[in-house]
Amino acid sequence: MTEPLEISDEVRAYLAPKDLEGLARARHHTSLNCFVCEGPIRPGSSDRPTVSLFSDPIERVLVAKVAHADCAPSQVEVMDLPREVIAGLAPGSISYIPAVMHLPDPIAAIFWEQNLSVTVRGADGTPFYPYLEHYRALGFLRGEEAPGLAGWKFEFEGDDLLLYREEGRMEEFNGAVEKAPAKWFDAMERTGGCLAMVGVGLGVDRLDLGLLERAWAEDRVAAAMINASPPPDHRAST
């Protein structure tokens, strides 16, 4: 299948595969505007718009904008993020935090987000998050709905927690065993699962509950309940 968007190598260097798949979904399902002539780029139209990247140094996000191929080539237009944000941040690298949520019974949960999120704006101004869309396309729903997903599982490997679906590995949470709070493994063992919560602008690196609540309210979180059991040396029953 031909990609529905023209994306240059220069732009591609900043994007993870999940971003690219999410962008393709945005092209298929969302009305977009050309950032040059402001003309519409409708889902399903036969042209192949270009993707350019801008940056927002305040929010520390990359903003992807589309244009008609005749209006602008696919290129990095503005990249003024702080050097430390760009340096060492491989596309797709994530920050995460394991937590126990009381709903009201204790549930093991893990929150994560990309270190550098990509956003797109629809023609009506609605923000669209390719990385989140990727998970939504695979069955993740709003936080309070969190469906159980067949074929997915969390597995521990040494100190790391890995998220798998049938088709392969989705994420790698390095050092999760060490970062896990008290009672996290107990809650996981009791329910046989872990609540997977992926988002944009969660501030997991800052542990800011206000940011998390805002992300939840603004529908920037996607969740699913995934099968999980603690590693043998963290099981109460052994």
Taking the least distance from each CB to Zn ion, the nearer of 75 and 93 is 75
Q: Is-contact 18 134, C-beta < 8 A?
A: yes
Stretch of 12-20, 30-38, 88-96, 148-156 lying at the interface with Zn ion (CB under 5 A): 30-38
Give min distance, CB of 47 to Zn ion, in A: 10
Instruction: Determine the size of the site formed for Zn ion (CB under 5 A).
Output: 6
Taking the least distance from each CB to Zn ion, the nearer of 47 and 218 is 47
Taking the least distance from each CB to Zn ion, the nearer of 49 and 201 is 49
Binding characters for Zn ion, 31-70, by CB under 5 A (x = yes):
---x-xx-x----------------------------x--
Choosing from 71, 85, 86, 94, the residue that interacts with Zn ion (CB under 5 A) is 71
Give min distance, CB of 71 to Zn ion, in A: 3
Give me the residue whose beta carbon is nearest to Zn ion. 34
Taking the least distance from each CB to Zn ion, the nearer of 37 and 79 is 37
Q: Which residues of this protein are in contact with Zn ion, per CB under 5 A?
A: 34, 36-37, 39, 68, 71
